[in-house]
Structure formats: structure tokens, C-alpha cells
Amino acid sequence: QVQLVESGGGLVQPGGSLRLSCTASGSIFRIITMGWYRQAAGSERELVADATSGGSRNYADSVKGRVTISRDNAKNTVYLQMNKLEPEDTAVYYCNAVHQNAYDVRTNYWGQGTQVAVSS
């Protein structure tokens, strides 16, 4: 089992910044991808950004240029730096990790979610 613990959410004014962090712990063999998804009220969960262990980065079109994902493989931690936040960014943000065990079995893990609210 892998546990994901998120931190860094909160209330921010439009145009402000937030940095989210997520650390994985537990029985870790190899984490292939770590990333962030979000779910606004009444909407489906959507990808914000993810990062592979090999260095690839993937961003949703709605956040390109405003959001940067980074990953510390040694610490099993992923960060999401969000700038120029807009009210439309308001959502619960979930950390995600794709874990691969010694038998090449992949398992998807989720954090508990952290609320981001952008409002004046």
C-alpha cells in the first residue's frame, strides 16, 4: 500500500499563487507517474498536470503557462506551483500516483484532496 499526503491548499485572491505538495509513503517499489487532478463542484475530476519519473511533464490546456509541476524522486514528492490563479481554478485538488511493483503490476493511488478556493 502507498499513502499520499497533500498539503498547501487554501483561500487565495484572484491573481495570487499557491504551492501544493504531495508526498508518497508506504511500500514503494517504483512510482512511475505523480500528478494532480482537480474536481470542481458539479464537475468531473480532471487532470491538471503530471510528471513521470523519466522527466516528462504534461499539463491541461487550461493551466499551461500558469502552473508548474515538479517532482523530487528521491523524496517521492510532487509539487504544483500555481500562479495567476483564477476563480475557475477553485476545486478540490487530488494527488495521484501510479505505482509499479516488482511484478510490473501498476496500481493507482489517490490522496485525500486539498481545497483550493480563489475568491476576492
**DSSP characters over 20-58:** EEEEEEES-SEEEEEEEEEE-TTS--EEEEEEETTS-EE
What pLDDT score was predicted for residue 83? 98
Closest by CA to 66, choosing from 120, 2, 6, 12, is 12
Q: How far apart are CA 70 and CA 115, in angstroms?
A: 20
What pLDDT score was predicted for residue 93? 98
Q: What is the pLDDT of residues 36-68, one digit of tens each?
A: 999 999 999 999 999 998 899 999 999 999 999
Q: What is the pLDDT of residues 67-111, one digit of tens each?
A: 999 999 999 999 999 999 999 999 999 999 999 999 999 999 999
Closest by CA to 49, choosing from 26, 83, 15, is 83
pLDDT band, very low/low/confident/very high, at 11 (cuts 50, 70, 90): very high
What pLDDT score was predicted for residue 46? 98
Contacts of residue 91, defined as CB under 8 A and 6 or more positions apart, other chains included, come to 38, 39, 40, 41, 43, 116
